[in-house]
Structure 1
C-alpha cells in the first residue's frame, strides 16, 4: 500500500504522517478513488469551461469582477489528478477539445483511458515560459482563441494553470530571507512548508496566492469577451494556506490528494450566458503529441508537484 520511502518520509515528518491519516479518513480507508460528493462537470450545461487551477471559491468570490452569476460546486478531487480521474476516466468526450497548461492529463492518459476530440498541450510547446517555469495566462488565452477558431463546433475545456504555484507576480519584497517561501529556483515549496524545511508567514503566502489570481483574471475576461456560447469559469480544486485540516488538526498547505476540506473542494461556478453554438461529436483526431518523459517530469516539478 505504501512504499518504504513513503513510510520513511511519514515517520520523519509528523505532519506528513498525520496528513496520511487524514487522507485515510476522507477516503474511507482508500475505498474511494475520489470525492463522491463532487459534481460531474462534463454532465453540466456549458459550451466553454474555463478552469482556474487551484482556485478556492472564497478567494474567487472576493476578487473576481467577471460578469455572470456566481454559484459554487463541490469538486470530485482535491488535486488535478484526482479531479481528472473523477470526471473523465474511461469516457469518450468526442464533442470536447481540451486546451491545457497542466501536464497531468498527458502523464496519466494511459490510466485515465479517456479520449477527447483533440488535446492541445500548451505546456509542451513554445507556450512554456522558461523565466517563470509555467504557462502564462495570456498564453493560454491566445491558445484558447486559436482553438475556438479551429474547432467552432466543439465544447472547449480550457485549463489555465493559475492561481496554482508558481507565483508569477513580483513578491520578492515578501520573501527576502534564506528560508523564504517559493525561491525562484526551487519547486515543491508547499511540501517544504508542510515539512518545516521552509518558513513564511501565512499572510505573505496568502497575498502571493491572491496576486496570482489577480494577475490572471484580466486574461480570462478577455477570453470570455471573445468566446461564443455559454461559458462557465470554475476550478479543479482549491488550496489550503495554513488552515487546520481534520480529523487531525494539523496545519495544511497546498492541495494534497484525498483530503476534502471546504478549502480544497468548494470551487467557483460562474455562469456567463451567451448565444449557444451547435456542438457536434466527432471521432478523435489522430494528432497525438509526444514528448520526452524527462520534460514532463521537469514541467511537473516546476509546477510544484513532488
Structure 2
C-alpha cells in the first residue's frame, strides 16, 4: 500500500511516474514481490557467501582480481529489500549467521519474518562511520572474521555496503547532498540525477562507483583467503548508470526496486574453494534481539539514500 504522501510525491515528479509504470510491468501488476527468475541463494552450495551491495556484473568482471571462478547469476531483486524478500522472507535459516552492514533486514524485520541462528548488525552504533555516512569495508571484515571464529559450524553470509554509495573511495561531494533533501525518497541521489537537479556526467559517477568497489576488494580478498570451504562472492543487485529501461523507455540511475533489467539483476558469482568444507548444523537462535531507536535507523537509511 502507498501513503497519500507517496502518491502525491509520485504524481508531482514525472521520473517517479515513469519508474512506477515500469515497475508495474516487471512485477506483473504487483502480483510478484520479487524477481521470480532469480536464483535462490540459500539453495546454492556454499559455506560462506560475501555480498557486495549494488555491484554490477560488468564492473566486478573488470575490476576484481579475486581468486576463483567467475560466473554470473540473476538476482531475485533490483534492490536490497527485494533481494531479501525473495531469499529470506519467512524462512528458517538456523544454520546461517548473517553479518550485515546494511540496515534493510532490521528495517523490514517484521515483514520478512526470517529466522537466522544469529544476525550481527554491523551498522548499529559501533560499526557506523559518522564521517562517511556508511560502514567502511574494514569494519565489516573485522566483524565477519570474528563471526567466523565464533560460529565455525554455520554458513556465514557477509553483507558489505560497497560499492553502494556514498562513494568513500573518491573525493566526491555530489553524492553526499541527498542527506539534506527535505523530500527524502527512494535513492534520492539517483533521482536527482534522473530529474536534472544534479548535473554530473556518467564517466564521473562510474569512476566514483568503481573506486568504491576498489576500496572494498582487498578486504573481501582477506576474507576469501581466511575462509575455508566453498566461498561465493556475489551481489544483492546491480546498479544503473544512465541506461535505458523498458517497457516505458527512460534513462535510469541507481537501483529502483521492482525493475528487473539486466544491469540491475545480473550479478557476479565467483566461487573459491580451499581447505575443508564446513560441517554445518542448525541450532536455536542466539541473537539477543538488540534494537536501536527509530531515529538511529532512519538516520542510517537516509545516509544511504533509502529514505
TM bucket by the smaller chain?
A: over 0.9
Return the offset for 1:10: 2.3
Question: Partners in 1 of 2:223 and 2:180 — Cα distance?
Answer: 31
Alignment-derived partner of residue 283 in structure 2 = 282
After the TM superposition, which residues 114-263 of structure 1 pair with which residues of structure 2 at under 5 Å, given as runs?
114-172=114-172, 180-183=174-177, 186=180, 188-263=188-263
Alignment-derived partner of residue 31 in structure 1 = 31
- Name the TM-score, length of structure 1 as normaliser: 0.95
Return the offset for 1:280: 1.0
Q: Is the 8 A contact 1:34 1:86 kept in 2?
A: yes
Question: Partners in 2 of 1:170 and 1:286 — Cα distance?
Answer: 36
Figure out how many residues of one structure are paired with residues of the other and give that number: 300
Alignment-derived partner of residue 299 in structure 1 = 300
Return the offset for 1:88: 0.6
Q: Is the 8 A contact 1:186 1:302 kept in 2?
A: no
Gaps of 5+ in 2: 182-187
1:255-301 C-alpha deviation (Å, 9 max, x unpaired): 11100010100000000012212111101114111110110010000
Alignment-derived partner of residue 50 in structure 1 = 50
Alignment-derived partner of residue 6 in structure 1 = 6
Q: Does the residue aligned with 2:162 lie in a helix, a strand or coil?
A: coil
Question: Partners in 2 of 1:297 and 1:2 — Cα distance?
Answer: 19
Question: Partners in 2 of 1:13 and 1:265 — Cα distance?
Answer: 25
CA, structure 1 residues 236+286, in 2 after alignment: closer, same or farther (shift >3 Å)?
closer
Question: Partners in 2 of 1:284 and 1:127 — Cα distance?
Answer: 22
Question: Partners in 1 of 2:175 and 2:79 — Cα distance?
Answer: 21
1:66 aligns with 2:66: yes
- Name the TM-score, length of structure 2 as normaliser: 0.94
Q: Is the 8 A contact 2:132 2:166 kept in 1?
A: yes
CA RMSD of aligned residues (A): 1.4
Gaps of 5+ in 1: none
Q: Does the residue aligned with 1:123 lie in a helix, a strand or coil?
A: coil
Question: Partners in 2 of 1:205 and 1:5 — Cα distance?
Answer: 30
